[in-house]
Amino acid sequence: MTTLASYRDHLAEIGKLTSAAALLGWDLQTHMPPKAAPYRAQVQGKLARMAFELSTDDALGAYLAELRKDASLTLLEKASVRVNGKAYDRARSVPAAFVEERQIAQSESQGAWVEARRTNDFSLFQPHLEKMVGYARQLADYYGYEEHPYDALLEDFEPGLTCRQLRSIIEPLKEGLVPFLRQLLTKGTPPDASVLAGDYDPDELRRLARHALDIIGYDFAAGALDDVAHPFTSTIGPNDVRVTNRYPTESPLPSLFGALHEGGHALYNQAFTEELYALNLAGGASNGIHESQSRMIENQVGRSRAFWKYFRDVLAEHFPKFATVSPEALYRACNVVAPSFIRVEADEVTYNFHIMLRFEIEAGLMEGSIAVADLPNRWNQAMKDYLGIVPPTDSAGVLQDVHWSFGYMGYFPSYMLGNLYAAQMLPAIRRSLPTLDASLERGDLKPLVGWLRENVHCHGAAYEPDELIQRISGEPLNPEHFVRYVREKYSDVYAL
């Protein structure tokens, strides 16, 4: 067998274990009965261990070493060797004993965070978070970095991005958004969202979500829609990309936008070819690029004036009272801007501020310029500076997200980058599809999704995010696109 064939076989074996592990994870949150949790953790642990062993074994290293010198590979094969080679080197650089020790500490830390959030007592979590930061620094040392330890961690989520670049993106973003938000809130006329109030039947909301997924082109024959507490999209394997959703009954919007958001992720993954799976490139270019696809469908489509010209009637099919509400009123009602404490509930304009403050804290923790003990103060000060509000409790502030309880540093920026990438793609899309709005007004997403498939989805993880956005837009990541998008849209909505 050739080295390339052995390499492909090896990836296929990893892929099957990963698929089984993905199903276990999906089931855990959708259908698994509560009492099954302790044993499920053991089964997941075993599959993760087996997949890790296969992903770090000497044979794979030998294949990679040889294939790195092989000039006859296809472009995709080369990308596979690059991406999987980097992951291999990183995984091998971390001692198994460290991984194990950290896992145990993560589990304890997670428990402490749950309790701290429940009782609104940061001090319960503080010693654990200190430990987690220590592990994150240690991990960065194992991985290695040139300038900032944060760079080593960012690599997992945004390959190639550095702390310095992030800062250079955030500065103009702040400059563009802080005064605009102030203007919006003091001089703008907020839309009337009262028409959305009500008590909605969750079964009908579920049918509406399904309808919306149909409209965007989500393939139910290669997917499923299930109920969960915290929505996510899970790729079990080729032709098996499942979305999940929740159905708060006080408004039709959370479940509708939840479905569009997860549907956006799912369209990406449903487009992966067999060859991408075979080469273990069946993932997004980065977390940020992945998030750009969910935001594109949720915001650039779902919160657009054009789409509501079509979607008002769809909504009214499920909830007849909306037949007498104008598309324009609904468009405006789902574009209310309001500073709030909780990141996951934030609107398009305020969302990025939630990320900036997290990034600044993370970078400071990693370089040692911020102490964990000082986090609640830092947090509240930043909330005041950016959004003009101070959380009433730490549970609604520094303790709100799960990420730090596992010591995941470098994850949050992806959410912001998703907004920026999506806003930067949009002008390129409009150049290619000058009649985009007209098609959205007919509820026809085929042109848009076709474009995304051709320019984003079909590449899987073959390009790094900076290369991909350069190919698409002709320039590197540039936050001005997002600032312009937000200013234009919300100046109109708020009649500035």
* 374 lies in the site for a copy of itself, by CB under 8 A: no
Could you give the CA distance from residue 276 to residue 21 in angstroms, rounded to a whole number?
19
* 184 lies in the site for a copy of itself, by CB under 8 A: no
> Does residue 233 sit in helix, strand or coil?
strand
Residue 245, H or E segment: strand 240-245
Q: For a copy of itself, give the closer residue by CB, 219 or 444.
A: 219
* 48 lies in the site for a copy of itself, by CB under 8 A: no
Could you give the CA distance from residue 122 to residue 417 in angstroms, rounded to a whole number?
29
Q: Give the residue from 111, 106, 112, 103 showing the smallest Cα distance to 45.
A: 103
Q: Give the residue from 297, 294, 283, 262 showing the smallest Cα distance to 465.
A: 283
Q: For a copy of itself, give the closer residue by CB, 21 or 173.
A: 21
What the block records as the tokens of 189 is: 């006329």
Among 75, 97, 197, 221, binds a copy of itself (CB under 8 A): 221
CA 136 to chain centre: 21
* 31 lies in the site for a copy of itself, by CB under 8 A: yes
The answer to whether 200 and 187 have CB atoms below 8 angstroms apart is no
Residue 54 beta carbon to a copy of itself: minimum distance, rounded to whole angstroms:
11
Could you give the CA distance from residue 447 to residue 445 in angstroms, rounded to a whole number?
6
Could you give the CA distance from residue 159 to residue 153 in angstroms, rounded to a whole number?
9
Among 149, 159, 217, 223, binds a copy of itself (CB under 8 A): 223
Q: For a copy of itself, give the closer residue by CB, 16 or 187.
A: 16
Burial (CB count <10 Å: 0-12, 13-18, 19+), residue 474: exposed
Q: For a copy of itself, give the closer residue by CB, 114 or 224.
A: 224
Could you give the CA distance from residue 189 to residue 246 in angstroms, rounded to a whole number?
31
Q: For a copy of itself, give the closer residue by CB, 240 or 466.
A: 240
What the block records as the tokens of 220 is: 């139910």
Residue 369 beta carbon to a copy of itself: minimum distance, rounded to whole angstroms:
44
Q: How many residues does the chain have?
A: 496
Q: Residues 237-256: x/- map of binding to a copy of itself (CB under 8 A)?
A: xxxx-x--------------
Query: Binders of a copy of itself: how many residues, by CB under 8 A?
Result: 34
Residue 380 beta carbon to a copy of itself: minimum distance, rounded to whole angstroms:
40
How does DSSP assign 86-139, residue by residue? HHHHHHHTS-HHHHHHHHHHHHHHHHHHHHHHHHT-HHHHHHHHHHHHHHHHHH
What residues from 274 to 333 belong to the interface with a copy of itself (CB under 8 A)? none
Contacts of residue 94, Cβ cutoff 8 Å, sequence gap at least 6:
139, 142, 143
Q: Residues 9-28: x/- map of binding to a copy of itself (CB under 8 A)?
A: ----x--xx-xx--xx--x-
* 66 lies in the site for a copy of itself, by CB under 8 A: no
> Does residue 20 sit in helix, strand or coil?
helix
Q: Residues 396-415: x/- map of binding to a copy of itself (CB under 8 A)?
A: --------------------
Residue 20 beta carbon to a copy of itself: minimum distance, rounded to whole angstroms:
5
> Does residue 244 sit in helix, strand or coil?
strand
Among 66, 121, 201, 226, binds a copy of itself (CB under 8 A): 226
> Does residue 236 sit in helix, strand or coil?
strand
Enzyme catalytic residues: 262
Q: For a copy of itself, give the closer residue by CB, 223 or 465.
A: 223
Residue 238 beta carbon to a copy of itself: minimum distance, rounded to whole angstroms:
5
Alpha helices in 57-95 (DSSP H): 58-67, 75-92
* 207 lies in the site for a copy of itself, by CB under 8 A: no
**Segment contacting a copy of itself by CB under 8 A, of 86-94, 193-201, 222-230, 315-323:** 222-230
Among 4, 10, 11, 47, binds a copy of itself (CB under 8 A): 47
Among 35, 58, 71, 75, binds a copy of itself (CB under 8 A): 35
Residue 18 beta carbon to a copy of itself: minimum distance, rounded to whole angstroms:
9
* 236 lies in the site for a copy of itself, by CB under 8 A: yes
Could you give the CA distance from residue 348 to residue 335 in angstroms, rounded to a whole number?
8
Q: Give the residue from 235, 273, 274, 279 showing the smallest Cα distance to 85.
A: 279
147 DSSP assignment: S
Residue 227 beta carbon to a copy of itself: minimum distance, rounded to whole angstroms:
12
Among 2, 5, 9, 46, binds a copy of itself (CB under 8 A): 46
* 36 lies in the site for a copy of itself, by CB under 8 A: yes
Residue 267 beta carbon to a copy of itself: minimum distance, rounded to whole angstroms:
15
Residue 226 beta carbon to a copy of itself: minimum distance, rounded to whole angstroms:
7
Distances in whole angstroms, Cα of residue 301 to Cα of each of 13, 232, 258: 39, 19, 13
Residue 480, H or E segment: helix 480-493
Q: For a copy of itself, give the closer residue by CB, 236 or 306.
A: 236
Q: For a copy of itself, give the closer residue by CB, 222 or 433.
A: 222
Residues that bind a copy of itself (CB under 8 A): 13, 16-17, 19-20, 23-24, 27, 31-36, 38-40, 42-43, 46-47, 219-224, 226, 236-240, 242
